[in-house]
A and B are shown apart, each in its own frame.
Chain A
Amino acid sequence: MILTGVLLAVVGLGLVGWFAARGRARLLYTGRGSMHSMPSYHGWHMALWIIVPALLAWMAWSFMMPGLVDGAVLASPAAAQFPPDAMSRAAILSEARTVASNPNAAVFNPLSATLAEPMRAAQQRFGLIGGLIVLIVALAGGGYGLTRVRAGFPARTQVERAVLGVLLLASLMAILTTFGIVASLLFEAGLFFKDVSPIAFLTGTHWAPGNAGGENISDNFGAVPLFWGTIYIGAIIAMLVAIPLGLMSAIYLTQYASSKVRKLLKPMLEILAGIPTVVYGYFAALSVAPMMRDFAASIGMANPSTESALAAGMVMGVMIIPFVSSMADDSLAAVPRAMSDGSLALGATRSETIKRVLLPAALPGIVAGVMLAISRAIGETMIVVMAAGAAARLSLNPFDSMTTVTYQIVQLLTGDQEFNSPKTLSAFALGLVLFIVTLILNIIALRVVKRFREAYE
């Protein structure tokens, strides 16, 4: 609480410093060329010297404070009757912390109630000390900044150096995120593979994480049915819908439609890509799945299930259409005009030109686009969660209910179980597989697209 207030005070001080330094710098101005930097750069230099060191001190103190508070509480007389083992000590302390910040919180251990008062006192005390330290650092930084306000001081270069530092930090965020993804997936999956052998996980055909445990734990984590369901729904059914429709749409829009029609139809097609996946999922579950079930019943299947791979795959395919279409659009546009003109000049019709000249020439780009579309389809979650079902089975029948990697990740992580069981950890192992597969698909596809572009330039 105190520390938040201190932060606001530091920002206020920075503002004051900005005006003060600018004002002083203005007094130094005696004519053209009398100063190295404009007065406002002196203001920024001052403000940075106030805020940055104080912020660093604030972060260091907020990092250290919980430990100091705990130490002080443990040294208080009320803590003398603590149980000796570290586990229950930590539990009582964290409970006392909750009570200290919220007096109405439920208490399980009576000891923590008695500790709440010393805890609050210690928090107050260390908060005050920390606040004072931060303020002193801010004032010291400001004092130093003020001594720098001189006519010859290169305030602008200093400030610009700081700006470049901030820019660099911002762009490092992307690497940090990638690193965070890889590290967290590898770490949690590593814990999982301590219990379950990776070979059993990647080649086993029996998936039943619910009754996993004891000796034969590896037998229940065979992920092949999930991989099959993912491929069947995302890479086969969805692509059977998306490739013909997307490709033909792109051909019509680029080769036949007048520019007026194209301007009208293309954004409408793109709306399909902007609809949230949860809406598609609901549509699949509400309308498409019952239709598929009735259709399956009408062709004589016994007990067709409402959740079918076909419904999920079809809706997913429709979602991917604009994606395939725009990728195909780009690759068709990259084919040099002279090639199709030559074919037309020889007397071939438009469709013959498209089939014999344009499509073969654009094929690498189209294949890369399809690979990107597949990587998108297998990572798609909400549609399969709402329409594909939970049964892990190896089946070729599109009317069967099937499950996918993403469905299982959701299923495994949304229950109320403890975090470190093999069951929850297996979700991270599945996530790791998904991440690696989509990464490989993307890298190959992007490389193909790049080489393909270069070939025609």
Chain B
Amino acid sequence: MSNAVWQTPEAVRRLAKRHAAERRFRLLGLSAIVLSLAFLALLLVIMLENGLGGLDWQFLTGSDSTNADLAGVWGAAKGSLLTMLVTLVLSFPMGVLSAVYLEEFAPRARWIEWIEVSINNLAAVPSIIFGLLGLAVFINTLGMPRSSPLVGGLTLALMTMPVIVISGRNAIKAVPPSIRDAALAVGASKVQTVFHHVVPLALPGILTGTIIGMARALGETAPLLMIGMRAFVVTPPGGITDPSSVLPMQIFLWSDEIDKAFVQNTSAAIIVLLVFLLAMNGLAIYLRNKFEVRW
């Protein structure tokens, strides 16, 4: 009798309906992912299709030019390189030291909370706001040279630092307390414990976060637009105070050209930029897998 209730035609039909709904929902989820990835694939395919033809030696070693055939990406790439150098030199030590302080030494106090709140907020402030800061402070108040990798690097360093601090704190937090206790127990001071044992163990995590932050900075355009890094630069910059352009900016400038021939250049420059980013992210994943310690 009790079995029979579940096998009436009506119950069977209701169950089939519910299972059909289940399948539909599952399919919906799958199609959401497939759609997102299809968009990614479309983007990559269009860029490859337009740009692969333009990738040759002339393009990789040349600098900007009004003639699409002669224009190349090296000037902008060198600008990016110098800018990233300034960013790394400033934001890495600052970020690591600040993460160490907040995680290991900071007293429980009101003003420490302020630091934490402002770091979390800085990580979410729109990048264009950092550009406004760079324009108002570095260029208009301190009179640093406009469109130079120096100012660009400074601005991006302020933007990258919170990312490094947050990932650095997580990496330091992951080092088990027993390591610290062991060092302290054999007579090391607090500073020695942190710099001889905790930081080296946390370094792979910190480096991964740094590389991800740098990759974000490398693709950033909006703040650099604010500080005028859109110079038309025919010769690659020689130093960090020369006017220069960066890779994403070069893409933006070429995308504005009316000449159809620049479509190929723009796509080719995008391929170069994406290859750089892919390499950096690959390095981050490699570092994480190679050196990550599961405690």
Contacts and interface: CB of A to CB of B under 8 A. Distances in A.
Interface of A: 156, 160, 163-164, 166-168, 170-175, 177-178, 180-181, 184-185, 187-188, 244-249, 251-253, 255-256, 265, 268-269, 271-272, 274-283, 285-287, 318, 321, 349-352, 354-355, 372, 375-376, 378-382, 385-386, 406, 409-410, 413-414, 419, 427-428, 431, 434-435, 438-439, 442-443, 446
Contacts of B165: 174
Interface string B113-132: 01100111110111111101
List the 10 shortest-distance A-B pairs measured between CB atoms, nearest first: A379-B126, A276-B219, A252-B29, A248-B32, A351-B25, A184-B136, A381-B222, A170-B97, A167-B101, A171-B98
Chain B interface residue number, banded: 35 or more
Contacts, number: 246
Contact of B255 (A256, A285, A406): A285
A278 B93 CA distance: 29
Interface in B216-252: 216, 218-222, 225-226, 228, 230, 248-249, 251-252
B124 A375 contact: yes
Interface stretch (B36-44, B65-73, B177-185, B201-209): B36-44
Contact of B128 (A166, A286, A379, A443): A379
Main secondary structure of the interface of A (DSSP, over half): helix
A177 B251 contact: no
B42 to A, nearest CB: 8
B290 interface: no
A352 B140 CA distance: 59
A245 B129 CA distance: 29
Interface centre among B100, B101, B263 (most CB of A within 10 A): B101
Contact of A265 (B33, B121, B215): B33
B21 interface: yes
A170 B93 contact: yes
Interface in B40-81: 40, 42-43, 46-47, 50
A194 to B, nearest CB: 17
A351 B21 contact: yes
Given A171-B97, A274-B277, A349 B119 contact: no
A276 B220 contact: yes
Nearest to A188: B136
B13 interface: no
Contact of B219 (A173, A278, A283, A379): A278
6 contacts: A174-B119, A381-B225, A382-B248, A409-B128, A410-B128, A439-B125
A282 B126 CA distance: 20
A409 B122 contact: no
Contacts of A439: 121, 125
B115 A379 contact: no
A277 B222 contact: yes
A426 to B, nearest CB: 12
B215 A278 contact: no
A426 B135 CA distance: 14
B153 interface: no
Contacts of A376: 124, 126
B273 interface: yes
Contacts of B132: 181, 184-185, 409, 413, 427-428, 431
Given A269-B36, A351-B26, A277 B219 contact: yes
